[in-house]
């Protein structure tokens, strides 16, 4: 271990279209280097796996070099290597896993193959103090939307209280953005455009909010259809589509349900803390409404800054550092890349 006694961890993230290399010492962020292939996918309206894999291969070494430069350390200084082992695109994951294994082997350091989704939550530790009590974690990304009960953020124990039964929240944002003619990925564009709209303009449906419905499950595909029908009806009638109002009303339907269920989960489980992570946690209205509702409910709310909510390598290093610090058994060097890694498997 290093002089400061906190593990110096190198993290690799390549699950989708961001090549992220992070370096942390304990809970201190030293480097967060990112290369993205998003522009290469934009014209296809979604991430093209083959293109993403090749882009990771090309970006890997320059991004690693940049991270070491930013952190002002040499490769030999690190104590451990962490890598996203899943979930994600198989070919994309393979590039990061192979690179991380090579580093671990060459440097003779332990390897930690971690869950991307847990890393989205653990990254909060780089900005805020550890939470003393169990927390509810709301994980909202492009492929997942789940409510989790975590005895400790960055720990290996997790209970999934509920998840989406169809589209993830980010997926819904991306699909609605496409419908409205906005670029991919659509989340940030809807976020921006919604600021000029009236979020009460259109009453879009909120799924699973009845007394008999599953308390912690989500569904966004009915909302997606409702928005599409509404827009089509306007177009058929030859009327202009008020894009800002549609974006604001759609967004309100999403964040209303996400925050209401997260607060309910905390209350039901007697938990005083809520952590929100994943790309959609960068959303300004989600952050605002979560803050309002947590304050009202007497909950402590933690959301990492927007730049750490979307995919990055720092989150992987942050989770790796927690695992090292709490004595987790490192992964074998023959671990696979697991594209459908379950959310509750924090470490392979």
- Name the residues that contact ligand KG4, by CB under 6 A: 16, 120, 141-143, 170, 173-174, 185-188, 191, 278-280, 282-283, 310-311
Pick between residue 93 and residue 282 the one whose CB is nearest to ligand KG4.
282
Residue 261 binding: pick among ligand KG4, Zn ion, none (C-beta 5-8 Å cut-off by kind) = none
List all residues 6 or more positions away from 236 whose beta carbon is below 8 Å from its beta carbon: none
Residue 154 binding: pick among ligand KG4, Zn ion, none (C-beta 5-8 Å cut-off by kind) = none
Query: Smallest gap, in angstroms, from Cβ of residue 164 to ligand KG4?
Result: 13
Pick between residue 256 and residue 311 the one whose CB is nearest to Zn ion.
311
Helix, strand, or coil here: 136? strand
Give which of 41, 31, 35, 40 is closest to 20, Cα–Cα: 35
Pick between residue 274 and residue 343 the one whose CB is nearest to ligand KG4.
343
Pick between residue 86 and residue 110 the one whose CB is nearest to Zn ion.
86
Query: Smallest gap, in angstroms, from Cβ of residue 199 to Zn ion?
Result: 26
- In whole angstroms, give the CA distance from residue 251 to residue 236: 24
- In whole angstroms, give the CA distance from residue 251 to residue 169: 10
Query: Smallest gap, in angstroms, from Cβ of residue 145 to ligand KG4?
Result: 10
- How many helices (H) and strands (E) the chain has is answered by 11, 10
Contact stretch for Zn ion (CB under 5 A) within 35-43, 161-169, 293-301, 310-318? 310-318
- In whole angstroms, give the CA distance from residue 19 to residue 9: 17
Q: Would you count residue 311 as binding Zn ion (CB under 5 A)? A: yes
Pick between residue 82 and residue 324 the one whose CB is nearest to ligand KG4.
82
Helix, strand, or coil here: 24? strand
Contact stretch for Zn ion (CB under 5 A) within 125-133, 223-231, 285-293, 311-319? 311-319
Cα 25 → chain centroid: 21
Give which of 289, 300, 323 is closest to 79, Cα–Cα: 323
Q: What residues between 117 and 176 interact with Zn ion by CB under 5 A?
A: 141
- In whole angstroms, give the CA distance from residue 166 to residue 3: 48
Query: What is the binding site for Zn ion (CB under 5 A)?
Result: 141, 311
């Amino acid at each position: 271990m290093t002089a400061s006694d906190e593990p110096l961890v190198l993290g690799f993230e390549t699950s989708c279209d961001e090549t992220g290399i992070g370096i942390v010492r304990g809970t201190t962020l030293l480097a967060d280097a990112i290369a993205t292939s998003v522009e290469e996918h934009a014209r296809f309206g979604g991430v093209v796996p083959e293109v993403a894999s090749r882009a990771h291969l090309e970006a890997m070494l320059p991004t690693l070099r940049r991270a070491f430069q930013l952190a002002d350390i040499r490769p030999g200084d690190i104590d451990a290597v962490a890598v996203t082992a899943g979930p994600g695109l198989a070919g994309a994951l393979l590039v990061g896993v192979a690179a991380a294994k090579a580093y671990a082997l060459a440097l003779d350091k332990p390897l930690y193959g971690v869950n991307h989704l847990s890393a989205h939550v653990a990254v909060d530790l780089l900005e805020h103090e550890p939470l003393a009590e169990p927390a509810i974690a709301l994980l909202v990304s492009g492929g997942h939307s789940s409510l989790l009960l975590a005895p400790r953020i960055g720990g290996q124990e997790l209970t999934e209280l509920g998840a989406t039964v169809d589209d993830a929240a980010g997926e819904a944002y991306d699909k609605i953005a496409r419908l409205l003619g906005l670029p991919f990925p659509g989340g940030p564009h809807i976020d921006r455009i919604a600021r000029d709209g009236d979020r009460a303009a259109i009453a879009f449906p909120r799924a699973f909010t009845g007394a008999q419905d599953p308390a912690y499950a989500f569904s966004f595909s009915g909302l997606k259809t409702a928005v599409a029908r509404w827009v089509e009806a306007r177009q058929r009638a030859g009327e202009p589509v008020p894009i800002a109002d549609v974006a604001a009303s759609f967004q309100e339907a999403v964040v209303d349900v996400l925050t209401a269920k997260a607060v309910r989960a905390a209350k039901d489980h007697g938990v005083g803390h809520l952590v929100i992570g994943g790309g959609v946690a960068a959303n300004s209205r989600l952050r605002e409404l979560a803050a309002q509702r947590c304050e009202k409910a007497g909950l402590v709310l933690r959301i990492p800054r927007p730049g750490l909510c979307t995919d990055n390598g720092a989150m992987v290093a942050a989770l790796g550092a927690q695992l090292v610090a709490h004595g987790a058994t490192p992964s074998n060097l023959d671990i696979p890349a697991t594209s459908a890694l379950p959310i509750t498997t924090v470490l392979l």
